Each structure stands twice: as structure tokens, then as C-alpha cells.
Amino acid sequence: MSYDFLKRGIHASYLKASFVWVGMTQIILLGSVDKMRLGVPKEPDNETRVAIVPSSLKKLLKAGFEVSIEKGAGISANYLDEEYESAGAKIVSRQEVLGCENIICINFPGVEGIGENTNLACVADPFRNPNFVKECLAANITLMSMDMIPRRLSRAQSMDVNSSQDNLAGYKAVLLGAANVPKGIPMMTTSAGTVRPAKVVVMGSGVAGLQAIATAKRLGAVVYASDVRKSAAEQIESVGGRFIEVDGMDDFEDESGYAKPLTPEFIQKVNDTVCGVAKDADIVITTARIFGRPAPITVPSSAVSEFKSGAVIVDMNADVGGNCEDTKAGDIITTKNGVIIVGTSNLPGTIANTASMLYSNNLTTFITSLVDDGNVVLSDDDDILFGAPEDSDFYVNGMGGVLICMNGEMHEKQTRLMGAIE
């Protein structure tokens, strides 16, 4: 499959043009070029964030976009319609937003009302939601799933929505733990006696885990942390944590930078070791997430039964099955032995104003990087879109970049995803 024609800037930003397709080549028959239209829809009721914030509009307008925001899209994140209008955006209906040639959002909005050849950038989580891909294929919508960003590319870091949102999630997880635990966090010396610092155990030291460690340390806790990557020890210690080492530990990380699925035997060994350390912990933060798969159980019910009364488990992956066997997504529960389990979903959404700002910065950097001479151009030279070439150190077999499908076809590099969809 060749995408050479895209290098010529031929795309749906030609608002008044008519098109025909000859094979894989799009030919403009007539019409004139207008501004690139960018639509930002309001997210579903269970989502407090918004994809674009007013401070991003200056960069978007400078790049040549005409930005349309659905009425009330930013209210839940404390961004008012008046702020968008003052910054140069149009406040319009949902129908008008979905009629734009480029759409940016957080959650997959569905395909109803979206025209053919529209560029849709969102967090589709395609391995868990293959139907979203099927819908875009059937509707001839170009889907770019931002959670598929090739995170090891240096250029991708400023566009990496996973990292920006995970940072906030790790921070908020500790605050939720501190809010629910029935004791103070830092060591305090008072006339009535000395209060010992709380013990916090963080399971996993990816982006979210490291932020959780750092946050707990700043609050004054004694922090222990684990990871399946032995190389993570230095990172954990650099932010104030104490590394929990497990016998047989190696660097269980795949070529794309995500944790590999582990054998049941090793998972059991990790669980036993880390849960042993966590028996007397005041707060336990679980962060283990495997790309495209349900969250692994790292805190089984048997371990919870041995935790002390008043301990708090904050399960950061309640939305994808949970790391704690007893987690109930969206709820805070207390077990028979007095352990509090926090299953709050969408942790970044609990600090929607900041989370929206970071997401907006990521997506603004991404979409403006695609602009070439007044058009959105999906160049096959772009590793962010299509994945690294085979001769690159960053090449991942079976994985492309954020571009999932276009012109009614899956991108040829997304062979892993093709297998999940079939």
C-alpha cells in the first residue's frame, strides 16, 4: 500500500472540492481551497476533560486551522465558551463540529455525523475496542489513535498523551490514598508524642508509578516500590523510593516500551514478595497495565485479607479490570477486615482542568506537525503516523504508529491489530 499521494497535500481540507479515486490516488476535480477546519466535540457525560483548551488556540490558528468548539465542551474542566471565543474559536453545534474535516477528542465519538475522509484523532484503545476500528473502516474515516504513539521516539514525547495523563493519575492516586487512610502521612513531632510516617507501597514504576512515588515522598511517607524491570531500581531510588527486588527479576519490557506479559509462575512470585512488603503498609498504589490487555492481578484477595485494618489500596487500573482482585470499578469499598479499596476510574478526569491542558498541548503539537503548506498531510515518512521503518532501532514488528486506518483499509503495518479485529 502506498501513501505517496498524501505527500502532495491532497486531503479533505479542500472544503469545496469534489474528488474521485483512481486506485489509491485521490484526484481533485474542481473547487477551491479553504481553511482547515478543526472540530472539538463535547465529551460523554462521564468524561470531565476536553481535548483542546483556549491556550492552545493561538498555535492552532497560526498553523491555519479554523477551530470549532461544541457549545459547553469545556465547562466540566472549567474552560468557558467565552474563553474559547476570546481566543479565536467558534462556538457551534455538535453537528457543525462533526462536519469538520479534522476532529480532535479524547473518547471515541462514534461515526454518526462524521463525513468520509475525516481525520479523527482520539484515544480509541483499538485492541480493547476493535469495533471502533470496524466502524471507521465502514464509514471511510481516517482514525488516529493517540494511545498508539511510538513512545520511544524522541519526537513523540511532546505528543505522548499516555505519559501526560499517567503522570497526573499517579499524582492523584496518592492524594486519594492520603484522603482515605485514617492516619497522617508525614512524621510529626508534637508535645503529645511523635507520629511515625506512613508506609506507602507502589506496585510498578512506569510513568504513573514514578509520579506516585515522588508524590508520596513529598508528602512525607516512607515509600517502597516494585517493578518487573530490574533496571527500574535506579529510577525508583532517584525519586525517593526503596526498590523491592524479586528473585529472578529481569527487564520484562517489549520493544515498544511496554511491559511484557509474564508467566503465571513469575507473577505469583512478584505478588507474594511485594504483597509481603505491603502487609503493614498504610497505602498501596497499583499501577500495572499491559498494553491492549486486561490489567494483571497483582493484589489477590488472599493478600488483601492479610493487610491491616485501615490500609488503603488505590487501584489505578479499575477501568480495565483492576490490579486488585476485590476492586469494584467506580466505587470505594471496605472489606470485612477493614481494608479500603479505591476503584476510582479515569483518575486524570478528577483533575480535569490540568489534564485537559496537558492533553491539549499533546494534541496541538501532533496536529500542527501534520500541516504542510496549508494542508493536513499524512506523509508516509512520518514515524509518528506510520511507525518506524524496519531498519530502525525503534521498529516494532506488527505495529505501526497512531494511524490505524484510512480509505476504508487498515494500515499495512498494523498486523497485530488486524489479527485482533478479524
Active site residues: 151, 157, 160, 163, 258
53: Cβ contacts below 8 Å, ≥ 6 apart: 74, 77, 79, 356, 357, 360
Residue 398 in grid coordinates: 506488527
The answer to whether 364 and 56 are in contact (CB under 8 A) is: yes
What's 261's DSSP letter? P
Distance CA 138, CA 406 (A): 10
283-286 and 199-203 beta bridge pairing: parallel
The number of beta carbons lying within 10 Å of the beta carbon of residue 140 is 17
Q: Burial, 190: exposed, middle or buried (Cβ in 10 Å; 0-12, 13-18, 19+)?
A: exposed
Alpha carbons 64 and 72: distance in angstroms, whole number: 24
With contact defined as beta carbons under 8 Å apart, do 227 and 236 qualify? yes
Measured CA to CA in angstroms, residue 192 lies from 188, 195, 385 at distances of: 10, 9, 61
